[in-house]
Amino acid sequence: MPQQRPLGPFTVSAIGLGCMNICHAYGPPVPEAQAERLLLAALDDGVTHFDTAALYGFGASETLIGKVLAPHRHRFTLASKCGMQGVDLKGDGQLVRVIDGRPETLRATCEASLRRLRTEVIDLYYLHRWDKQVPVEESVGALGDLVRAGKIRAVGLSEVSAATLRKAHAEYPISAVQTEYSLWTRNPEIAVLDACREIGAAFVAFSPTARGFLAIDLDPQAFDAKDIRRAMPRFTPAHWAANQRLLPAYRALAAEVGCTPAQLSIAWLLHKAPHILPLPGTGHVDHLLENNRADGVRLSADVMQRLEALINQHTVSGNRYSEQSNREVDTEVFA
C-alpha cells in the first residue's frame, strides 16, 4: 500500500497527482484517451489525492476529471482551485488568465467547478493566487462560507507567504498550502514550511522534479511555443548551461541510491518533513508509475546532506519565475 499522509482532515497517498499537465502549460494537451488512461492508472496504483484547478485548460482539466473519475468519487480526495481562471474580457471568445479573489467571483467559480467535476462537494479548495486588490481575509472568508454551505470541505492557499497564511488562518482554518518546492526551489524553507507546521496545515509541493529538470533530459530550445517554461529564467540560455552542470553529480547520486533521478527528487521531499506531500504531474502512465515508486526509496542523512549541498538557492542559476509571475505571488524570496 502506498505511504499515507494527512492532507488537512483527510488521509491520502503521500504522493498525489497534479492534473495540470494533461491539458495545460507544457505544450499541447495530451490526447483525451491517454489522459483517461493516466487518471485511471493513478487510481488503480493507489493515488488518492488528485489536484486540479479552474485555470487548467480553462476548465478542461476539471471536465476530464469529472468525466473519468466521477464514478469513482468515493475512492479519492479531490482538490481544486479558484481565484485564477480564464475570462473573456473582449467578448470575442478568447479567454485570458485573470486573478480575481472577490467573494462573488469565488462563489461563481466554485459552482462552475462543481458542474465540471460532476460532484456535489470539493474536498479541498485552494485560493490559487491571492488577489492583492482584495484583503486575503475577504477571499478566505468567502471560502469559509462555501464550507458552511456544503460546497467544499476544507480551505487551502497557494503561493503565499507565512504572514499571509497566518492572516488567512485567523479568518478561517487553513488545511493546506500549495507552493513550488524542490531541490532547486527552496523558498518554502524561509518561513512557510514552519508556519504550516505551527498551524497544523499540510504543505503540498508542486513541481517536485523541478519542472522536469531533475527527471528527464530536456532541451529548452525544443519546448512548444506555449510551454510556460519558455518564460522562466532558469530555462533561458543565460542560465540553462550553468544549471545543466548540476545534473551529472545529481544523476550519480540517484544511481548510488538505486533509483531514478525523478524518484530521488520526490523521495528527498518525503524525507524532509512528515507534513510535506509531493505533487508531481505527468501525461504519461510510465512516468506516473515511476514517480509513485519514490515512496519506497530510502535516503540516508549523508545522501540528504550531499543532495542539498549540490542543488540549492546558491548553486541554481536564475529566478524561478519571470518578473510578471513574481509580482503575482506572495511567497518569500532569498536575499
| pTM of the complete model | 0.97
The DSSP symbol for 80 reads E
Active site residues: 56
Q: What is the pLDDT of residues 26-79, one digit of tens each?
A: 988 999 999 999 999 999 999 999 999 999 999 999 999 999 999 999 999 999
- Residue 120: pLDDT band (50, 70, 90) is very high
- Residue 150's pLDDT is 98
The amino acid sitting at 293 is R
pLDDT of residue 232: 97
Beta bridge partners of 80: 125
pLDDT digit string, tens, across residues 132-184: 999 999 999 999 999 999 999 999 999 999 999 999 999 999 999 999 999 99
pLDDT at position 191 over 90: yes
Whose CA is closest to 2, among 76, 80, 78? Answer: 76
pLDDT-based confidence at 24, cuts 50/70/90? confident
C-alpha to C-alpha distance for 135 and 146, rounded to whole angstroms: 18
Beta strand 49-51 pairing with 276-279: unpaired
Contact between 81 and 126 (Cβ < 8 Å): yes
Q: Give the separation between CA 78 and CA 126, rounded to whole angstroms.
A: 11
Average pLDDT value over all residues in the chain: 97
Which ranges of the chain would DSSP assign to H, the alpha helix?
32-44, 60-69, 103-117, 136-148, 162-171, 192-199, 237-244, 247-257, 261-272, 285-292, 301-310, 323-328
Report all structural domains of the chain as residue ranges with CATH numbers, in order of start.
Answer: 4-209+265-297 (3.20.20.100)
Mean pLDDT throughout 8-37?
A: 95
Does the pLDDT of residue 1 top 90, yes or no?
A: no
CB count within 10 Å of CB 108 equals: 14
pLDDT at 95 over 90: no
pLDDT in tens, 262-314: 999 999 999 999 999 999 999 999 999 999 999 999 999 999 999 999 999 99
What's the gap between Cα 10 and its chain centre? 17
The pLDDT value recorded for residue 331 is 96
Beta strand spans in the chain (E): 4-7, 10-13, 17-18, 49-51, 77-82, 84-87, 96-99, 122-127, 152-158, 174-180, 202-206, 276-279
